[in-house]
Every structure is written in structure tokens, then in C-alpha cells.
């Protein structure tokens, strides 16, 4: 009986640790693959990341302050391939768009008025007939500014 409880406890602990492992993998991806491309912008030390699979989407709101020069970067794990992403204003107007067919990982711009913008990401479906495994990978959104 005690062995059964121990197995259940180990299973629960393992399941609870999975999100922490995914978070650590995202953090490592951002640190090793993405941060070098932020230069000469200073990374603001906060990042948004999500574990996404082909066909999934994510959106995050970010605040940008007037008079600042910014770089927004979207960095995806190679298992996902190139992702589609765009930066839109409060009215839904697209300010920048990167597609998997014509990828751009960074967008540099200057903000004249403090405003909240959305970064919308979508991971394209994989073509049929290839590897049918569901690949989940980290997609990070980073913001840097000029000092």
C-alpha cells in the first residue's frame, strides 16, 4: 500500500515539474539564441514566452513609452521552423508583419506617443505527409531599447 502511495506522489511531482522544465528551456533558448541579436539595443530583462505547437497562436500586450527607440524580436525554437508574427496597434492596424515565407526576426521603431501594442504569433501547420509527430517548441518575445 505504501509503495502505491509513493508511486502516486512521484507521478504528481513529475507532472508538477514539467512546466518548470519547459520554462527553463525557454529561458535557455532566449539567452543563447536570441539575446545576441538584440545588440545594440539593451534587453529590458523581461520576456514573454509560450510553448506552442503547429497551428497554435499566442498574443501578448506590451507597453511602449514615448520618445524611445525599440527593437521587438520574436525568436522560435528550430523545431517549429519560422513563425508568422505581427505587431498591431490598439485599433488592430498592422505596424509590422513577418511571415514564415519572408521571415524577419526583429523590428526597430521609435514611439512618438506612449501606447500599448500587441504582438500576435501564429505557428504555421506542418505540411501533410512529413513527420506527423506533434512538435512543441518555445517562442519568445523580447523587447530592447536604445539608451
- Tally of domains in the chain: 1
Domain enclosing residue 15, as ranges: 2-145
Q: What is the pLDDT of residues 10-62, one digit of tens each?
A: 444 444 444 444 556 788 888 888 899 999 999 988 778 999 999 999 999 99
Output b/e per residue, 105-126; b: 16+ Cβ within 10 A: bbbeeebeeeeebebbbbbeeb
What pLDDT does 15 receive? 40
61 versus 7: the higher-pLDDT residue is 61
What is the DSSP secondary structure assignment for residue 19, as one 8-state letter? H
Residue 40 sits in a domain whose CATH number is: 2.60.120.380
Lowest mean pLDDT among 28-32, 41-45, 64-68, 135-139: 28-32
Q: Is the pLDDT of residue 134 over 80?
A: no
The answer to whether 102 and 36 have CB atoms below 8 angstroms apart is no
What pLDDT does 32 receive? 86
What pLDDT does 9 receive? 46
The answer to whether 51 and 138 have CB atoms below 8 angstroms apart is yes
**Could you tell me whether strands 106-110 and 94-98 are parallel, antiparallel, or unpaired per DSSP bridges?**
unpaired
What pLDDT does 23 receive? 57
Q: What is the pLDDT of residues 73-128, one digit of tens each?
A: 999 999 899 999 999 999 999 999 999 999 999 999 999 999 999 999 999 987 66
Amino acid at each position: 500500500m505504501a509503495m502505491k502511495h509513493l508511486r502516486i506522489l512521484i507521478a504528481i511531482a513529475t507532472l508538477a515539474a514539467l512546466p518548470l522544465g519547459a520554462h527553463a528551456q525557454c529561458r535557455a533558448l532566449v539567452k543563447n539564441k536570441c539575446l545576441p541579436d538584440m545588440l545594440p539595443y539593451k534587453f529590458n530583462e523581461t520576456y514573454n514566452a509560450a510553448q506552442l505547437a503547429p497551428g497554435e497562436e499566442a498574443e501578448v500586450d506590451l507597453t511602449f513609452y514615448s520618445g524611445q527607440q525599440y527593437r521587438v524580436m520574436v525568436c522560435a525554437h528550430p523545431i517549429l521552423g519560422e513563425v508568422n508574427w505581427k505587431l498591431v496597434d490598439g485599433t488592430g492596424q498592422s505596424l509590422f508583419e513577418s511571415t514564415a515565407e519572408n521571415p524577419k526576426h526583429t523590428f526597430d521603431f521609435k514611439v512618438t506617443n506612449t501606447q500599448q501594442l500587441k504582438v500576435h504569433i501564429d505557428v504555421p501547420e506542418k505540411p501533410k505527409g512529413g513527420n506527423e509527430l506533434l512538435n512543441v517548441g518555445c517562442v519568445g518575445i523580447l523587447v530592447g531599447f536604445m539608451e
